[in-house]
Amino acid sequence: MRKLALSDEILLSIESPARYIGGEVNSVMKDPAEVDIRFAMCFPDVYEIGMSYMGIQILYDMFNRREDVWCERVYSPWTDLDKIMREQKIPLFALESQDPLKEFDFLGITLQYEMCYTNILQVLELGQIPLLASERTDEHPLVIGGGPCSYNPEPIADFFDLFYMGEGETVYDELFDLYKEYKKAGRSREEFLRRAASVPGIYVPSMYEPSYNEDGTLAAFTPRYSDVPAQVEKQVVMDLDHVTYPKAPVVPFIKATQDRVVLEIMRGCIRGCRFCQAGMIYRPTRQKDVESMKEYARAMLENTGYEEISLSSLSSSDYEQLPELVNYLIELCGEKKVNISLPSLRIDAFSLDVMGKVQDVKKSSLTFAPEAGSQRMRDVINKGLTEEVILEGAGKAFEGGWNKVKLYFMLGLPTETEEDIKGIAWLSQKIAERYYEIPKSERVGKCQITASTSFFVPKPFTPFQWASMNTEEEFLEKAKIVKQEVRAQINQKSIKYNYHEADVSVLEGLLARGDRRVAKTILEAYRNGALFDAWSETFKMDAWKKAIESAGTDLNFYVHRERSLDELFPWDFIKIGVTKDFLKREWENAKQGKVTPNCREKCSGCGAAKFGGGVCYEG
């Protein structure tokens, strides 16, 4: 019987002790003596958030199918346990075996959001693993990162031995086999890393040397050895129907943020919104077969006992077999008394009909993401959504019995004017007006519209990667304009307005487009007490301000200036299929307010066709 890493006394003194004990339904136990590779899979945030992420569940299932690998899980300890572990020098441990991380071969860290970067350092430090890759020896685990933030790995490159570019189902087996070969032969860490740099999709930061121009921009990014490739190619699974997907995912003891079965129906997106990184890095769009989706839905519900199932994709409405799948789920879930969640739907007649069938009599709120208040601005960002369509969708929803609408917008987008900003309030007003056009006897209470704005952050591999970003003061001034304009509307009592933190957005901009020199700022901020930066109750802006000042980081250089089209970016060595020439064309189209059709309407030659399948080859 395994011994828990934490004593009963500690477990009884902390919030949610079930975060740290393991032993959940469908978790995998193996004998450490009978495997060659031990892999600790980390989500650098609390258990409830990490357990909601399907990517880890997929890799956990895939790795553990190998008899020679035991994959376990680890999450960031919340601040109460963090304090105790530091005071009592308790090493951070994996949930399944409760063994310290420092005893593992690999520590894999998923990089979903820039504001988790200080948590990476927490996991390393509590795991008693040197924070800097350059200080690790053959006795330490190899630290590997993957996920959307790895598409600009440079700000955190000093903390990682390797990064995995692309979808995890492709070359991990090759990497593991290579590791076993080098381990058996007694070869050094350095030798393994040099050889691993030649595995497709694997980036080893220590094998590359950046150099800089006098103005601070990147001059060159050069491999240190002739056998290390100059470019790293994203890895993509083209046949999604024959790829690993867990029929029995691990079920947490406590309620996770997404406490349900998650059914991935599609990867990629046909839409081409110019601010959206996921829409570019996950190209080309690939669909899963509806028959396999039916099989997985039934098996996952039976193997977990969940009372809700949700579809996962960037745009569920673009899944061509959605009507058939939804009708099947309605029948299946009706038998099992299971709720159906359908995120990422466009608000059209089919979607509203479906939502009317799957939601309880007391209807929850509907979500629209116009992203911008004016049509001009929606054309700039290539949203592909007209005001007419928005109002028609809202009208159909209101007639169908909904009275709550959530609207998501962005402030600080390229070319934005005051009229575009005020347009957020005007569009909210028009939607409220549409509700009150319904005869009073047919309305369901008072209309409630919640308009939320986040602040635009330019991301790598998007057409907006060249764009300047607003300052904190500019963001707040724009939010103030929206707030005042909402108050000036006739139906202001039906409209609630809120906005994201501006200071966090500016930091996100620094971490998203920074280069290798930004690592010093992250390390300083962590030393100053920054941790759980994605949580408003724990975010410490003072820790970051001190770090930015002491590291001499120029926010104007990294965040607030517009880049020139010929500038070399820290992420240009990564090849994602979508070409830089295409992104440049889209940047120019944005400035002119020209709309680019979606991938099913017309191919725009983005470069993703090189992968040989998906939407690029439909029909």
574: which strand partners?
A: 232
What percentage of the chain carries pLDDT values higher than 90? 90
Question: How sure is the predictor about 351, in pLDDT bands with cuts at 50, 70 and 90?
Answer: confident
**Angle at which helices 172-184 and 54-64 pack, to 10 degrees?**
50
User: Quick one: which of 229, 76, 232 has its CA closest to 154?
Assistant: 232
CA–centroid distance for 10 within its chain: 33
- Looking up tokens 């970067």 gives 117
What percentage of the chain carries pLDDT values higher than 70? 99
Structure tokens at 144: 């590997």
Query: Which residues, at least 6 apart from 532, have a Cβ–Cβ distance to it below 8 Å?
Result: 45, 46, 76, 78, 79, 118, 119, 538, 539
- Do 199 and 193 contact (CB within 8 A), yes or no? no
Residue 171 pLDDT > 80, yes or no? Answer: yes
C-alpha dist (Å) from residue 158 to 7, 161, 338, 503? 34, 8, 46, 25
The pTM (predicted TM-score) of the whole model is 0.96
Q: What angle is formed at CA 388 by the lines to CA 384 and CA 390, rounded to 5 degrees?
A: 70
CA–centroid distance for 298 within its chain: 27
User: Quick one: which of 491, 393, 406, 400 has its CA closest to 442?
Assistant: 400
User: Quick one: which of 53, 106, 62 has its CA closest to 246?
Assistant: 62
Torsion angle of C-alpha atoms 46, 49, 51, 57, degrees rounded to 10: -110
The pLDDT of residue 361:
42
- Do 510 and 521 contact (CB within 8 A), yes or no? yes
Question: How sure is the predictor about 400, in pLDDT bands with cuts at 50, 70 and 90?
Answer: confident
DSSP E strands, 213-335 = 218-223, 232-233, 261-264, 266-267, 286-287, 308-312
Query: Which residues, at least 6 apart from 473, have a Cβ–Cβ distance to it below 8 Å?
Result: none
Instruction: Report, as an integer, the average pLDDT of 198-208.
Output: 98
Question: How sure is the predictor about 39, in pLDDT bands with cuts at 50, 70 and 90?
Answer: very high
Question: How sure is the predictor about 362, in pLDDT bands with cuts at 50, 70 and 90?
Answer: very low
Question: How sure is the predictor about 399, in pLDDT bands with cuts at 50, 70 and 90?
Answer: confident
Domains for the chain: give ranges and CATH numbers: 8-233 (no CATH), 260-358+577-619 (3.30.750.210), 360-500 (3.30.750.200)
- pLDDT tens digits along 405-446: 999 999 999 999 999 999 999 999 999 999 999 999 888 889
Residue predicted with more confidence, 124 or 257: 124
- Do 462 and 274 contact (CB within 8 A), yes or no? yes
- pLDDT tens digits along 280-337: 999 999 999 999 999 999 999 999 999 999 999 999 999 999 999 999 999 999 888 8
Question: How sure is the predictor about 1, in pLDDT bands with cuts at 50, 70 and 90?
Answer: low
> Taking the CA of residue 556 as centre, how many other CA atoms within 13 Å lie in the half-sphere pointing to its CB?
1
- Do 296 and 243 contact (CB within 8 A), yes or no? no
- pLDDT tens digits along 236-278: 999 999 999 999 999 999 999 989 999 999 999 999 999 999 9
CA distance 294 to 324: 10
C-alpha dist (Å) from residue 540 to 117, 312, 462, 532, 543? 14, 33, 29, 9, 5
